[in-house]
Amino acid sequence: MSDWKIRRTARDANRQLDLGAHPSLNSIKSSLEAARGRPITIMELPTLRGDDLCGLCVAYSSHDVVVHAPPRSRLHQQQIIVHEFAHMILNHQITATSLHLVQLPGFNETPLQVLGRTSFDDDDEAAAEFLADLLMARIRPDLEGPTDDQPGFNKVFG
């Protein structure tokens, strides 16, 4: 997919989200829960080191879980979670996983699916990161918004 299509996909998804007058991480979560018809739990997993994998989505039969590594800051934590929400918004959970289906602490059942990636720079990752940038700009309007040609993912990972 071209960069133009990636940006357009993310912008279209962002425009379709009704997050109220004061968008927040909670309003995104609530919107996703309503759209998916299932609750979403957000949890930190200290065993994730965060140098390769910072976050992931895990789908169970009755709920979803967004797992994140210990963040460096509150802003870093929000970015990880919003990135995982972006994958859900863009329906990337239907793609094949590259991760083993393992049990998470506190969840007795085996996941149905774990959203994984095969590359840091594939189209799904680029679209999710650009959408995450757009969502962060809505949540935190005091932050600089994303540019057209360099989403936050590229700023961090080059």
**Res. 152: pLDDT tops 90:** no
Note whether residue 110 is domain-resident. yes
Residue at 97 is within a domain: yes
Position 105 in a domain: yes
First vs last Cα of the chain: how many Å apart? 19
In one-letter notation, the amino acid at residue 55 is G
What is d(CA 155, CA 145) in angstroms, rounded to the nearest whole number? 13
Reply yes or no on whether the pLDDT at 151 is more than 60: no
Q: Residue 40 has what pLDDT?
A: 97
Domain count, the chain: 1
| Interval 42-65 mean pLDDT | 85
CATH of the domain at 113: 1.10.10
Q: Cα dihedral angle (69, 152, 87, 6), rounded to 10 degrees? A: -160
Domain annotation covers residue 147:
no
Q: In the prediction, which pLDDT does 23 show?
A: 93
Specify the pLDDT at position 157: 45
**Kind of pairing between the strands at 40-44 and 64-68:** parallel
E strand or H helix that includes residue 157: helix 152-157
- 3-state DSSP assignment of residue 141: coil
Q: Which residues contact 143 (CB under 8 A, 6 or more apart)?
A: 136, 137
The tens digit of pLDDT for each residue in 97-147 reads: 545 556 677 777 777 777 766 556 788 889 999 999 999 999 987 655 555
Domain housing 64: 3-139
- In tens, the pLDDT along 74-104 reads 999 999 999 999 999 998 865 555 455 566 7
Residue 46 lies in a domain: yes
Tell me whether residue 155 is in a domain: no
Angstrom distance (rounded) from CA 72 to CA 74: 7
In a domain, 148, yes or no: no
pTM for the complete prediction?
Answer: 0.81
pLDDT tens digits, 8-36: 999 999 999 999 889 999 999 999 999 99
Q: Are 72 and 54 in contact (CB under 8 A)?
A: no
pLDDT at res. 122: 81
Element (H, E) at 30: helix 25-36
| Residue whose tokens read 């390769």 | 52
**Residue 127 domain-assigned (yes or no):** yes
